[in-house]
């Protein structure tokens, strides 16, 4: 069954974008409303207020500055206070429409300002920054001291890592105190618990290399978002803004991802994994998706670069090259330049780490906090135990397309405790069911290469296997992109599959509108109770001659063992059809022949043994689906080459010489109507008898787990 997720909460930005897409508001109004949402302005319509919980920050002012010249005069006037730092008279903190101010003063929804807010300034010791809090909020003094200490620690670690500092704070609109330091303002922005709340924001002067200021929302309790993490996050923004990349447009997701990564880099001991749960719970969203929370969880990609490859310098190199307009092209270029093979090699590795449960525990080892987070994989859909209760089939349906830089996960378990399990890969092959060209034209699972129009090198299929109680280490994950199918014989300890995790990834990044559509059967897991390890038993041939002779061949200590761990298959078009398993016999065949033969004056008489393995083959059709003409059947024949020869002696007058009688076959599994015999209901018994004059009888039993 498919895992059920809780209702998805939506940020203000998502609600505003939805209203814009529906034609309820225009683009300029949408921009204005996003500013109101970010700054806690009560002119934001209640219907557009988000419920996604505390947000870390917003990059909206950089977008406002980029679009400002194209806005109407009325919108420019409304937005002008939001372009000023809180320390500048007439800024947004003094607006009567500010939701915090509304709690203390009644008034209209105009934009008249309240008296100027006065500030107390604390300078950091090691950082080129100041912390400023309002005189009318002495309760923020303690938090200001904590943030100053956090600023010193964050500055040292982050500027050391990125090998650069934020652009100096210059310009009257940013409240510059003449010292070039970045200013951090502590001010209440909106009441938590009423609606979505912004935690902290780096307000950039523009989308290129630019300065700015930082606000910290003290209406949000430190218990909701630790002030130290907020400082690390916003200072990371100030530093990455110095590289000249686009804080707007295509780098917004990476800006937030890097901010959260910066939190862990500076404060691993209190890191809260912000956004990780959302990111992992919806792996079919592309890496660069922005929905108010996914972009924060995308820090896991940087986390992986730092500790998984491990190559932490890649993060700095990506930002040093951020003048490349396309963030994904930039990342791929850096990964290629540093010999990591671009997204094509790195993306499948990353999404494997994102499984984040057995046997993948790297995130927990790197970030050993007690709070666990794990991805919710899609369980196999449409699992159906067939009506005869002897086989079952699980098919991924309804299938889902795979977006660029995304993944899908499937957790598969044998659901009947059957012996034979077949996995069919319909992602990088065309998997289907078709009649094949052998006797009775049975329907079989078939797999052929994809048409040229469907072939791509961006789709990768990997498997994590739990066999006989042990998971394979995920660094040794099985790469199944080039495998059309994989079969398991669970009667053998080294193939006793208990759980299978299939990870399908798409490393496409250039065409963001391109999705990959799998075929009719993206994946199939077929299971049967037909045994597959080893068969043991007896077989006998009796040939009764009218003249009285009896020729026999009897298997002694007979066993059938698999030819190969690979499933038996046959060509189908330019691909293959999967049938079951091939077995060869071992043991000894005792033969004898005694009695009169034609002519009556001749007698057959002789005994001997031959090796049962000579010219023996048995095929069990373990993997044919229900309804197939050879479903649960088997076929085979066995004889010796050269065959045993029963001597014939004659006492005839006149004398005659008769050649010895060859015993070509000691076992044939074909019924009188030429159908193949059935395997027993429990999948562990094969027995039968055919013929009268030339009679074959047998009784084989599965030997059990090995």
Could you report the per-residue pLDDT of 273-320, keeping only the tens digit for each?
A: 888 888 988 899 999 998 888 999 999 999 999 999 999 999 999 999
Q: What is the dihedral of CA 361, 363, 368, 369, to 10 degrees?
A: -120
Mean pLDDT confidence for 411-434? 90
576 shares its domain with 471:
no
Mean pLDDT confidence for 649-658? 92
User: Within a 13 Å sphere around the CA of 468, how many CA atoms are in the beta-carbon half?
Assistant: 11
Which of 528, 558, 578 terminates a domain? The answer is 528
135 shares its domain with 164:
yes
Within 8 A by CB and 6+ apart from 68, the residues are 76, 79, 83
540 or 206: whose pLDDT is higher? 540
Does residue 383 surpass a pLDDT of 70? no
186 shares its domain with 231:
yes
515 shares its domain with 548:
no
63 or 526: whose pLDDT is higher? 526
Instruction: Pull the structure tokens for residue 522.
Output: 């993206």
pLDDT at 398: 62
pLDDT at 204: 75
User: Read out DSSP for 534-548?
Assistant: EEEEEEEEEEE-TTS
412 or 257: whose pLDDT is higher? 257
Dist. CA 187–CA 218, nearest whole Å: 5
Residue 593: phi and psi, rounded to 5, are: -150, 120
SS (H, E, C) 511-531: CCCCCECCCCCCEEEEEECCC
Instruction: Pull the structure tokens for residue 618.
Output: 């048995």
User: Worst-scoring range by mean pLDDT, 6-15, 156-165, 687-696?
Assistant: 6-15
pLDDT band at residue 5 under the 50/70/90 scheme: very low
pLDDT at 380: 47
350 shares its domain with 434:
no
Which of 496, 528, 560 terminates a domain? The answer is 528
279 shares its domain with 424:
no
pLDDT band at residue 28 under the 50/70/90 scheme: very high
Q: How far apart are the first and last CA of the chain?
A: 32
- DSSP H or E segment with residue 123: strand 119-123
Residue 78 lies in a domain: no
Dist. CA 142–CA 12, nearest whole Å: 31
User: Worst-scoring range by mean pLDDT, 177-181, 304-308, 403-407, 598-602?
Assistant: 177-181
Residue 373 lies in a domain: no
267 shares its domain with 137:
yes
Residue 160 lies in a domain: yes
Residue 98 lies in a domain: no
353 shares its domain with 389:
no
Expressed as residue numbers, the domain containing 269 is: 54-62+117-366
Residue 94 lies in a domain: no
556 shares its domain with 593:
yes
- Look up the pTM and report it: 0.87
Per residue in 290-304, is it b (16+ CB within 10 Å) or e — as a string?
Answer: bbbbbbbbbbbbbbb
Mean pLDDT confidence for 450-468? 93
Residue 96 lies in a domain: no
Residue 31: phi and psi, rounded to 5, are: -60, -45
Highest mean pLDDT pick, 96-100, 109-113, 644-648: 644-648
CATH number at residue 236: 1.10.390.10
Residue 337: helix, strand or coil by DSSP?
helix
Which of 334, 366, 398 terminates a domain? The answer is 366
Q: What average pLDDT does the chain have? A: 86
Does residue 555 surpass a pLDDT of 60? yes
- DSSP H or E segment with residue 316: helix 313-320
Does residue 373 surpass a pLDDT of 90? no
pLDDT band at residue 218 under the 50/70/90 scheme: confident
Nearest to 441 by CA among 570, 620, 598: 570
Domain count along the chain = 3
540 shares its domain with 484:
no
Dist. CA 552–CA 299, nearest whole Å: 75
Per-residue pLDDT tens over the stretch 132-181: 999 989 999 999 999 999 999 999 999 999 999 998 876 655 555 566 78
pLDDT at 106: 45
* Contact present, 355 and 503 (Cβ < 8 Å): yes
Does residue 462 surpass a pLDDT of 50? yes
pLDDT band at residue 683 under the 50/70/90 scheme: very high
Residue 221 lies in a domain: yes
Share of the chain above pLDDT 90, in %: 56
CATH number at residue 460: 2.60.120
362 shares its domain with 468:
no
């Amino acid at each position: 069954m498919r895992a059920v997720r809780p209702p998805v909460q939506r940020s203000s930005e998502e609600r505003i974008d939805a209203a814009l897409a529906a034609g309820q508001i225009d683009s300029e109004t949408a921009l204005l409303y996003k500013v109101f949402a970010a700054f806690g302005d009560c002119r934001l319509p209640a219907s557009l207020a988000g419920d996604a919980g505390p947000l870390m920050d917003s990059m909206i002012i950089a977008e406002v500055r980029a679009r400002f010249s194209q806005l109407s005069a009325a919108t420019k006037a409304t937005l002008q206070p939001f372009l000023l730092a809180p320390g500048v008279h007439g800024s947004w903190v003094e607006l009567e429409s500010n939701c915090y101010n509304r709690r203390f003063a009644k008034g209209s929804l105009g934009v008249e300002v309240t008296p100027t807010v006065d500030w107390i300034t604390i300078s950091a010791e090691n950082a080129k920054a100041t912390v400023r809090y309002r005189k009318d909020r002495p309760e923020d003094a303690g938090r200001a001291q904590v943030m100053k200490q956090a600023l010193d620690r964050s500055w040292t670690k982050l500027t050391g890592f990125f090998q650069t500092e934020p652009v100096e704070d210059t310009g009257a609109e940013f409240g510059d105190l003449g010292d070039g330091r970045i200013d951090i303002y502590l001010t209440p922005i909106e009441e938590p618990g009423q609606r979505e709340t912004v935690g902290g924001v780096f307000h950039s002067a523009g989308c290129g290399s630019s300065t700015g200021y930082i606000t910290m929302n003290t209406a949000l309790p430190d218990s909701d978002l630790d002030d130290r993490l907020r400082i690390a996050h916003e200072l990371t923004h100030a530093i990455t803004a110095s590289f000249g990349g686009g804080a707007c447009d295509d780098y917004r997701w990476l800006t937030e991802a890097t901010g959260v990564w910066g939190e862990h880099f500076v404060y691993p001991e209190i890191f809260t994994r912000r956004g990780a749960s959302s990111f992992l719970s919806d792996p079919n969203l592309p890496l660069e998706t922005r929905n108010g929370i996914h972009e924060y969880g995308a820090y896991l990609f940087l986390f992986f670069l730092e500790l998984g490859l491990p190559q932490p310098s890649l993060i700095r190199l990506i930002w040093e090259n951020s003048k490349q307009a396309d963030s994904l092209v930039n990342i791929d270029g850096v990964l290629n330049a540093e010999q990591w093979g671009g997204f094509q090699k790195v993306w499948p590795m990353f999404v494997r780490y994102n499984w984040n449960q057995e046997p993948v525990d790297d995130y927990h080892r790197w970030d050993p906090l007690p709070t666990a987070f794990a991805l919710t994989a899609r369980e196999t859909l449409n699992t159906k135990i067939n009506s005869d209760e002897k086989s079952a089939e699980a098919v991924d349906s309804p299938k889902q397309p795979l977006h660029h830089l995304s993944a899908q996960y499937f957790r598969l378990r044998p659901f009947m405790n059957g012996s034979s399990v077949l996995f069919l890969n319909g992602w990088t092959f065309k998997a289907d069911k078709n009649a094949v060209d052998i006797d009775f034209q049975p329907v079989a699972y078939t797999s052929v290469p994809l048409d040229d129009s469907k072939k791509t090198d961006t789709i990768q299929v990997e498997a994590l296997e739990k066999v006989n109680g042990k998971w394979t280490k995920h660094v040794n994950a099985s790469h199944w992109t080039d495998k059309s199918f994989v079969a398991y014989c669970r009667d053998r300890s080294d193939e006793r599959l208990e759980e299978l995790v299939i990870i399908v990834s798409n490393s496409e990044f250039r065409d963001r509108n391109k999705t990959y559509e799998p075929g009719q059967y993206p994946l199939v897991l077929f299971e049967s109770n037909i045994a597959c390890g080893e068969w043991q038993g007896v077989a006998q041939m009796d040939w009764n001659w009218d003249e009285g002779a009896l020729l026999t061949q009897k298997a002694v200590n007979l066993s059938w063992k698999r030819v190969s761990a690979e499933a038996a298959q046959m060509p189908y078009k330019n691909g293959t059809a999967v049938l079951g398993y091939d077995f060869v016999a071992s043991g000894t065949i005792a033969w004898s022949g005694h009695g009169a033969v034609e002519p009556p004056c001749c007698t057959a008489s002789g005994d001997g043994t031959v090796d049962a393995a000579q010219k023996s083959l048995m095929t069990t059709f373990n993997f044919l689906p229900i309804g197939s003409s050879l479903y649960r059947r088997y076929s085979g024949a066995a004889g010796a080459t050269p065959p045993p020869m029963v001597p014939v002696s004659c006492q005839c007058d006149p004398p005659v010489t008769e050649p010895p009688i060859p015993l070509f076959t000691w076992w044939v599994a074909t019924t009188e109507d030429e159908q193949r015999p059935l395997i027993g209901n429990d999948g562990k018994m094969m027995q039968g008898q055919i013929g009268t004059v030339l009679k074959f009888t047998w009784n084989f039993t599965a030997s059990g787990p090995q």
